[in-house]
Amino acid sequence: MQSTDSAQTAAAAVPAEPVELIAGVVSNLLGGLLDPSATGSAPETPPGEPAMWVLLASARREFETTPQTLVTDTPVAGVPVQVVENSLTYTPTPTIIDQLTLAALRVVRDITGFFGIPFAAIVGGLLSSENPPFFLTLGLNARKTEFEVWPGNVWNVWEFEPPKPTGATVVAIHGGGNIFQPNLLHWVDYTQMARQTGATVLVPLYPLARTEAGSILNVTPGMADYLSHVIDDRGAENVSIYADSAGSTYAFAAARELILRGEEVPASMVVISGQADYSQENDGAGIDDPFFNTVTVEYFARFHTFDGVVNADPRISPLRMETEVLRALPPTTMYVGNEEILLPGNLLLYERAVDIGAPISMVVGRGQFHNWPVSGLPVNSAAPKVRHDIYRQLGLLPDAVNAAINTAGVSANGTCSPLQSTAPVAGPSKFARTGRDYVFPCRARVQSAATQNR
């Protein structure tokens, strides 16, 4: 087993070296190519992965709400009692460019679907690679190490260490529908995260579901072992998880495994466009997802991803996990777009978290699609605005910056302020649907943040 070096210094932003500036310029150029209308003021990182999904197949701040001050009353395996904060946030109204992008994606989806072509899978495969482009690693100590899960099962792990590491470590669990390696946008994301925050970013290349060894149930114990190894090496308080799409399933499933073992869990998690419910319910019917049609869903279902999985399996479905497990999770923030078929399941998970006192918050991208926050590139209007929120939620920003953001008021999107709770209103259904928007109303507001300014 080959481990990475531990770092013990306090978290703080570090100034960019000349070679880092060059790498930043390269990332900006990538952003410009992907979105000619992008401004130079946006963070230098990539757009969301085209949409590798599974089974069914402000500016620079999040606008936090008042904590629900719920206290866990049944700790698991010695997990200490904790005060829980829940918040639900909507991004600002989508721009005309966002709307045109959605329309174009739907046209491409429908045309390719007519000919039986899984558009999202094809694009994801073309962009994926097990190694990052060399120019993205400029200014970083980038190296590939190995982690032996058990004899004969060795994972490659990419490590991106900045010149002046802060001691913070992010385990980045990539998406790709369980069948693809990280894509170009992931590599830009991870290298920029290390460069911009001083955190060391670790990217485990887990087995893919193209073989039986890559099924979710086979990979999850190994992912838990890897997280346990990193925590033992670097300290739980210094480790966080950043996952997207299929990687979000491993984030929740591996955290559950650690909790049931009675081991330490990372300090925080940020999961993007994860599937909260692997069941025959909550299929997002009626949401016109720009990526996932029947052709794409059936394509991903061909592989070994779900070998041994049962309907509503609590081993992989966060919504179905044990109450004690959800309460014992680290502070977790879920990002999802309201144009994703994954939205209803995520809302139900948030609702359950509020009900039971689990530390899960949620950010909904209005008019946004699968993996919209990944990288922070301005290919959509919301991604650059939440980039620093993600850094904060991962514990990567200096304490002074975190404090300033946490005391900020309400953004231009008009979501609930720190004095207004997003606790669901009483009633038979704690969230309602209006048009294409699923809404948790704020008690202190007459009009929901998700339906105003429409």
- Domain presence at residue 90: yes
Please give the pLDDT value at position 430.
Answer: 42
What digits encode the pLDDT tens for the residues 321-335?
999 999 999 999 999
Per-residue pLDDT for 315 more than 90?
A: yes
Closest among 407, 394, 414, 425 to 197, alpha carbons compared: 394
Query: Can you tell me the mean pLDDT for 178-193?
Result: 97
Please give the pLDDT value at position 212.
Answer: 96
Please give the pLDDT value at position 161.
Answer: 98
Per-residue pLDDT for 75 more than 80?
A: no
Query: Can you tell me the mean pLDDT for 53-67?
Result: 34
Bridge partners for 272 per DSSP:
244, 335
Strands 268-272 vs 239-244: parallel, antiparallel or unpaired: parallel
Please give the pLDDT value at position 80.
Answer: 53
What percent of the chain is modeled with pLDDT above 70? 70
Please give the pLDDT value at position 401.
Answer: 55
Per-residue pLDDT for 445 more than 90?
A: no
- Domain presence at residue 382: yes
- Domain presence at residue 439: no
CA dist list (Å): 264 to 38, 200, 225, 254, 268: 41, 20, 12, 12, 12
Lowest mean pLDDT among 8-22, 122-136, 201-215, 290-304: 8-22
Please give the pLDDT value at position 399.
Answer: 65
Q: Give dist(CA 134, CA 145) in Å, integer.
A: 16
Torsion angle in degrees (nearest 10) through CA of 178, 333, 42, 19: -70
Query: Who has greater pLDDT, 150 or 435?
Result: 150
- Domain presence at residue 99: yes
- Domain presence at residue 223: yes
84-121 burial, b if ≥16 CB within 10 A, otherwise e? Answer: bbbbbbbbbbbeeebeebbeebbeebeebeeeebbbbb
What digits encode the pLDDT tens for the residues 397-432?
876 455 555 434 323 333 433 322 333 333 333 444
Backbone φ, ψ for residue 211 (5° rounding): -125, 165
Please give the pLDDT value at position 10.
Answer: 34
What digits encode the pLDDT tens for the residues 361-377?
999 999 999 999 998 88
- Domain presence at residue 444: no
DSSP states of 73-119 as a string? SS-STTPPP-EE---EEEPPPPPHHHHHHHHHHHHHHHHHHHTT--H
Query: Can you tell me the mean pLDDT for 84-98?
Result: 94
Q: Give dist(CA 198, CA 11) in Å, integer.
A: 8
Per-residue pLDDT for 77 more than 60?
A: no
Domain of 229: which CATH number?
3.40.50.1820
Task: Compute the mean pLDDT over every residue in the chain, rounded to the nearest whole number.
Answer: 78
Query: Can you tell me the mean pLDDT for 251-269?
Result: 98
Closest among 113, 116, 120, 112 to 177, alpha carbons compared: 120
Q: How many domains does the chain have?
A: 1
Q: Which one-letter DSSP state was computed for residue 444?
A: T
Q: Are 271 and 178 in contact (CB under 8 A)?
A: no
Q: Which two tokens stand for residue 426?
A: 């009483």
Please give the pLDDT value at position 122.
Answer: 92
At which residue do the structure tokens 């829980």 appear? Answer: 84
Instruction: Report the alpha-carbon angle 289-248-26, nearest 5.
Output: 80
Please give the pLDDT value at position 263.
Answer: 98
Q: How many CB atoms lie within 10 A of CB 454?
A: 10
Q: Which two tokens stand for residue 43?
A: 């963070």
Please give the pLDDT value at position 13.
Answer: 36
Q: Which two tokens stand for residue 50?
A: 């085209």
Query: Can you tell me the mean pLDDT for 74-96?
Result: 76
Q: Which of 32-46, 113-127, 217-231 has the highest mean pLDDT?
A: 217-231
- For residue 128, the enclosing domain spans 18-399
Please give the pLDDT value at position 103.
Answer: 97
Please give the pLDDT value at position 85.
Answer: 83
Bridge partners for 170 per DSSP:
201, 240
Strands 200-205 vs 239-244: parallel, antiparallel or unpaired: unpaired
Please give the pLDDT value at position 143.
Answer: 97
Distance in Å from the first CA to the final CA of the chain: 55
Per-residue pLDDT for 15 more than 60?
A: no
| pLDDT tier for residue 82 given thresholds of 50, 70 and 90 | low
What percent of the chain is modeled with pLDDT above 90? 65
Instruction: Report the alpha-carbon angle 76-82-84, nearest 5.
Output: 115
Closest among 239, 175, 167 to 197, alpha carbons compared: 167
Per-residue pLDDT for 274 more than 70?
A: yes
Strands 141-150 vs 153-161: parallel, antiparallel or unpaired: antiparallel
- Domain presence at residue 302: yes
Q: Which one-letter DSSP state was computed for residue 328?
A: H
Output the pTM of the full model.
Answer: 0.76
Backbone φ, ψ for residue 426 (5° rounding): -70, 150
Query: Who has greater pLDDT, 48 or 104?
Result: 104
Per-residue pLDDT for 204 more than 70?
A: yes
- Domain presence at residue 175: yes
Strands 88-90 vs 83-84: parallel, antiparallel or unpaired: unpaired
What is the residue type of 252? F
Per-residue pLDDT for 286 more than 90?
A: no
Per-residue pLDDT for 438 more than 50?
A: no
Please give the pLDDT value at position 136.
Answer: 96
Cα of 215 vs its chain's centroid, Å: 20
